[in-house]
């Protein structure tokens, strides 16, 4: 596992910086973020992404299944929590009582590096439109499954399982290697089972009644600036235009969708 994933405070700070420098400017190319807007993040972790929105005057709510990560978030943002600028729910998203626990509609819903973990992605994406304000938007950032590290190899401890494209091995062989190397088998197999591609995402968005308001594909993921010290680079338009093939060369896809 890479060191920045072990240091949760550092990872929180990276998420804040990445969101302020890349995610929010990407959204604001098509949608104006205003003070007082309500932002929901599904799979918020320690809340670094939400913190960037709070810094712009928004009010945040995070849903996160892993309770210890929410405890970290409260330690990292005590003033924001005390001032009711951010609140959290520790549940599986499918167990949340949207009517009674979310306290109203949201201007922005965020899923960053999360949709690839979600079972029944079409159900969730269709469901979310019920909790958006009129003209509200949903932001997605995700690594396409076929990209070199689309299996989230950064979670692994062994050098073998951190190799590019190892997640594309046949299912039984991949599981066997995960078990043999004492990796997080169920979590990594979940990503394989729920794998998302650019084409699959766009198809689901359209089938569930959304318009794609904005999109950007990256050859080099913006967050690699902090993780690996490399400059983010937008994908070449000629590659972006080639279905399926583009997934192998796109390390990150950003999307904003809105109900039709």
pLDDT along the chain (260 residues), means of 10: 69 97 98 98 97 98 95 97 97 87 95 94 94 97 97 92 96 97 94 95 98 98 94 97 97 97
CA distance 11 to 2: 11
Same domain for 87 and 179, yes or no, is no
Same domain for 13 and 111, yes or no, is yes
Residue 73 is predicted with a pLDDT of: 96
What DSSP line would sit under 50-94, residue for residue? HHHHHTTT-EEEEE-S-HHHHHHHHHH-HHHHHTTSEEEE-S-GG
C-beta neighbour count of 90 within 10 angstroms: 14
Residue 97 is predicted with a pLDDT of: 87
Residue 94 is predicted with a pLDDT of: 86
Tell me the residue range of the domain where 218 lies: 3-145+195-259
- Domain containing residue 13: CATH number: 3.40.50.150
Split into its structural domains, the chain has a count of 2
Tokens (6 digits) for 72: 């970290």
| pTM for the full predicted model | 0.95
Q: Decide: residue 184, CB within 10 A, 0-12 exposed, 13-18 middle, 19+ buried.
A: middle
Same domain for 16 and 132, yes or no, is yes
CA distance 160 to 177: 9
């Amino acid at each position: 596992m890479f060191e920045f994933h072990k240091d949760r405070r550092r990872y929180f700070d990276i998420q804040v910086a990445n969101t302020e420098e890349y995610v929010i400017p990407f959204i604001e190319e098509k949608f104006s973020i205003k003070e007082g807007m309500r932002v929901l993040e599904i799979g918020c972790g320690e809340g670094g992404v939400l913190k960037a929105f709070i810094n712009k005057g928004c009010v945040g709510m995070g849903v996160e299944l892993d309770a210890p990560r929410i405890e970290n978030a409260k330690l990292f943002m005590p003033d924001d929590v005390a001032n009711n600028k951010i609140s959290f729910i520790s549940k599986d998203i499918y167990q949340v009582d949207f009517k009674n626990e979310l306290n109203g509609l949201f201007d922005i819903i965020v899923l960053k590096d999360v949709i690839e973990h979600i079972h029944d992605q079409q159900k969730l994406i269709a469901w979310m439109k019920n909790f958006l304000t009129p003209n509200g938007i949903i932001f997605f950032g995700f690594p396409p499954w076929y990209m070199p590290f689309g299996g989230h190899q950064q979670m692994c401890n062994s050098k073998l399982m951190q190799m590019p494209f190892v997640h594309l091995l046949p299912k039984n062989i991949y599981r066997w290697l995960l078990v043999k190397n004492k990796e997080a088998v169920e979590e990594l197999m979940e990503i394989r089972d729920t794998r998302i591609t650019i084409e699959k995402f766009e198809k689901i968005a359209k089938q569930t009644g959304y318009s794609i308001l904005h999109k950007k594909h990256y050859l080099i993921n913006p967050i690699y600036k902090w993780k690996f010290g490399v400059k983010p680079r937008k994908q070449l338009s000629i590659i972006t235009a080639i279905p399926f093939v583009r997934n192998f060369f796109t390390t990150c896809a950003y999307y904003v969708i809105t109900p039709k």
